[in-house]
Amino acid sequence: MRFFMNDYGMGAHPAVLDALAKANDGLYSGYGTDGHSRRAAGLIRGLCAADGADVHFLMGGTQTNLAAIAAFLRPHEAVIAPASGHINVHETGAIEAAGHKILAAAPDGGKLGPEQVRSLYVSCTDEHMVKPRLVFISQPTECGTMYSLAELRSLRGVCDELGLLLYIDGARLAVALTAEANDASLPDIAGLADAFYIGGTKNGLMFGEVLVIVNEALKADFRYIMKQRGAMMAKGFLIGLQFCAVLENGLYFEIAAQANRQARKLQGGLARLGVEFAFRSVTNQLFPIFDNSMIAELEAGFDFERWSDAGGGKGVIRFVTTWRTLDGDIYELLARVAELQAARAAGRK
């Protein structure tokens, strides 16, 4: 089976594993108060050009989004998010379980526009309705698409105008930052968001995410909320040291760049075969559309996820590439698609 299922169904990059092994004999103060974590925090502040930012290390994406939003909002305050946003679909109602409504904008390739933000904001007219307070976006989106710097600035603009916070889920931020199409740097992100997170789990770490809180007003007591939500790791040094291992040498970006390169190869190949896509991905997730019968045949040799029904006997599936995706796997997949297409063409004659 060739693996295009996701970017977390595997161990860590060898350099990360080495770092873990090397640090294994040390003794560390607990809960992220150790030297590795401090060093990693410093690296991240540097890369973000955000000297005053608070940096926290958490174990996974859902718990990062949950802890951040629980910390930032009062009970009646709500989140504005794209309907396809991870918190709106794939976190089992974690945000609502923390007490907050999500106002979801109709999806458009996973991206949220300033007019959608404004429209949801003005629809909440008084105290009988929730009060929108935080705009949630993902960079890149759950559809593989990405915000340009201009788009991020216009979202920041509407947030400033309406008194909203801008929060960016960066589970896959690395593939955005290293995408060919990208023009928003890490300092840009840090300069525009009130808080955001930089994902590790899906970019070569064993586990770990970094929450960066830029807005001074959001910093107070965040470690209390982390602990309360079960998101403060006893052996917190493990996250700090992993981030050190990939940030000190640019490896973090190389891992992502390789995932993107493999995605472009696969995307280009599929396009040449006439395959259509549900979204115009520029990162490591591709969403091709195939006949359902072809999807079933592909499943015999390839691991991937069925994403959604596309109507008319077709379906959207998801191929994810990673730093570990081999050229050979891609060629085999393309060859198989071509073969199945040919068989169908022959059958139609």
Within residues 131-150, the interface with a second copy by CB under 8 A covers 131
Question: What 3-state DSSP class applies to 343?
Answer: helix
Alpha helices in 123-221 (DSSP H): 149-162, 173-177, 186-192
Query: Is 244 a binder of a second copy (CB under 8 A)?
Result: no
Nearer to a second copy, 87 or 286 (CB): 87
Q: Quote the least distance from Cβ 345 to a second copy, whole Å.
A: 33
Give 250-318 as a DSSP string. SHHHHHHHHHHHHHHHHHHHHHHTT-EESS---SSEE-EEEEHHHHHHHTTTEE-EEEEEEETTEEEEE
Binding map of a second copy across residues 43-82, x = CB under 8 A, - = no contact? ----------------xxxxxx-xx--xx--xxx-x----
Q: Quote the least distance from Cβ 21 to a second copy, whole Å.
A: 6
Nearer to a second copy, 311 or 347 (CB): 311
Instruction: Tell me which residues in 224-243 interact with a second copy (CB under 8 A).
Output: 224-235, 238
Among 99, 157, 163, 250, binds a second copy (CB under 8 A): 99
Nearer to a second copy, 140 or 182 (CB): 140
Give 203-225 as a DSSP string. GT-SS-EEEEE--GGG-TTHHHH
Nearer to a second copy, 230 or 313 (CB): 230
What is the largest distance, in Å, between two alpha-carbon atoms of the chain?
71
Nearer to a second copy, 26 or 157 (CB): 26
Instruction: Tell me which residues in 263-282 interact with a second copy (CB under 8 A).
Output: none
Q: Which long-range contacts (CB under 8 A, 24 or more apart) does 100-107 make?
A: 100/69, 100/70, 100/73, 100/75, 100/130, 101/130, 102/78, 102/136, 103/78, 103/79, 103/130, 103/132, 105/80, 105/81, 107/82, 107/83, 107/143
Instruction: Tell me which residues in 4-43 interact with a second copy (CB under 8 A).
Output: 5-6, 8-12, 14, 17, 20-21, 23-31
Nearer to a second copy, 51 or 221 (CB): 221
Query: Is 118 a binder of a second copy (CB under 8 A)?
Result: no
Residue 321 near residue 11, CB atoms below 8 Å = no
Instruction: Tell me which residues in 184-213 interact with a second copy (CB under 8 A).
Output: 201-202, 206-207
Query: Is 328 a binder of a second copy (CB under 8 A)?
Result: no
